[in-house]
Structure 1
Amino acid sequence: MNIEKTIKSLERNRFKVTYFEQAEDAAKYLDQAIDGKVVGFGDSITMKSMKLYERLSAHNEVHDPNQSTDNDEFLEIAMKCLDTEIYLTSVNAMSETGEMVNIDGTGNRVAASLFGHKKVYFVVTTSKIEESLEKAIWRARNVAGPKNAMKYNLRTPCVAKGGDRCYNCGSPDRICNTMNIYMKKMNDIDEVEVVLINDELGF
């Protein structure tokens, strides 16, 4: 894993990058940078570990589908996240060549990361960096996907097999329904910032 190469590659792809050795420092940075805004969240164990909802909701209007109590409320909040000023999420994998990969089941996380905001933050740990795009895709499918399915205790082959790999299943519970590769910053978002943390939070 070459962190310096990854940062330079991301910057060539028009992503702003801020790097932190500690998750707490990254959380403080985001807490200071985002103030008095309407904010949307995408599902992220990394962000949960950093308690970003608790921090940011103290002085921002934060919409987080994970705060919902049922599926209808989840979808209602997810819709609000599509046009917030600021959107925060993570990715399942990143390559040293500067691409990021996300797999989604409902589509709200990927959809909201592509359009409709003044700024998007990707909060990502260095543990998700792979040497190439091909290896990043493999990681997203065979590491992050099964672990996310296990998190929700879904009825899929990857969960039944202990999360060993993706089985490209046809289960109704499947959450690997779409895959997005972020190759460059999207044109109509003012700024996309990768907050890169040298830690092993999330999947």
Structure 2
Amino acid sequence: MEQELLKNNFERHGFKTSFFDTKEAALDYLKDQISGKKVAIGGSVTAQEMGLYEALSEKNEVIWHWKKAGRETLMEARSAEVYITSANGVSKTGELVNIDGTGNRVSQTLFGPEKVYFVIGNNKVCPDLTSAMERAKQIAAPKNAARLQVQTPCAKTGVCVDCNSPARICHSIVILERPSNGMEVEVVFVDEEMGY
């Protein structure tokens, strides 16, 4: 991972950054940083692989719709002080790319919480914004569609064809170039493959 390049480009854009060799070290860091807070977690295989929900539940009120499904849980998450998610693609030039079906995950990264953490495995880091967008559409989205067992072409073939399927999970794409006004955003880079 090109740590110095990532640090320079993301911090130049107003993001905070931290770097860890392992997901365990990143998890310890997040546990130290977040205590006594209302925390929401966005849909994230990365968060699941880290055991984030269980670890943060020790000292925080944690809301995650993967643990308790339904609109009520999604709405409750909107009042969180801290939001944690990942991204579908990250550019070395300092942008975060996310695709969302419901919009809860991308909206929380734009407005609401005081602090947002993006936890990023090295597999999601791309040379530039174009390749980060391509990664989000052609790697992350088909894998998520297959995981969710939706009836879309990409879930079956592993290739995005920009379908119009009623089960399509790609309704919005957000490119975060800078943190929103009044919001602190930290990108937690982990030098391991995590999530899609």
Q: TM-score range by the shorter chain?
A: over 0.9
C-alpha distance in 1 between matches for 2:42 and 2:15: 19
Confirm or deny: 8 A CA contact 1:82 1:111 kept in the other structure. no
C-alpha distance in 2 between matches for 1:64 and 1:74: 10
Give TM-score scaled by structure 1 length: 0.94
* CA root-mean-square deviation: 1.0
The residue number in structure 2 matching 1:145 is: 141
Task: Kindly state the Cα deviation for residue 155 of structure 1 after the two structures are TM-superposed.
Answer: 0.4
C-alpha distance in 1 between matches for 2:191 and 2:71: 33
The residue number in structure 2 matching 1:76 is: 72
Task: Kindly state the Cα deviation for residue 159 of structure 1 after the two structures are TM-superposed.
Answer: 1.4
The residue number in structure 1 matching 2:90 is: 94
Give TM-score scaled by structure 2 length: 0.97
- Equivalent pairs, count: 196
The residue number in structure 1 matching 2:185 is: 192
TM alignment of 1:8-47, pairs within 5 A: 8-47=8-47
Task: Kindly state the Cα deviation for residue 4 of structure 1 after the two structures are TM-superposed.
Answer: 2.5
C-alpha distance in 2 between matches for 1:89 and 1:41: 6
Q: Deviations over 1:123-182 (max 9, x none)?
A: 111210111100100000000000000001110001121x1x211001111001100000
The reply on whether 1:201 has 2:174 as its aligned counterpart is no
C-alpha distance in 2 between matches for 1:83 and 1:6: 31
Return 5+ residue gaps in structure 1 as ranges.
none
C-alpha distance in 2 between matches for 1:198 and 1:105: 28
C-alpha distance in 1 between matches for 2:113 and 2:54: 21
Opposite residue 195 of structure 2, the aligned amino acid is G
Which aligned runs of 4 or more in structure 1 are off by greater than 4 angstroms? Answer: none
Opposite residue 33 of structure 2, the aligned amino acid is A
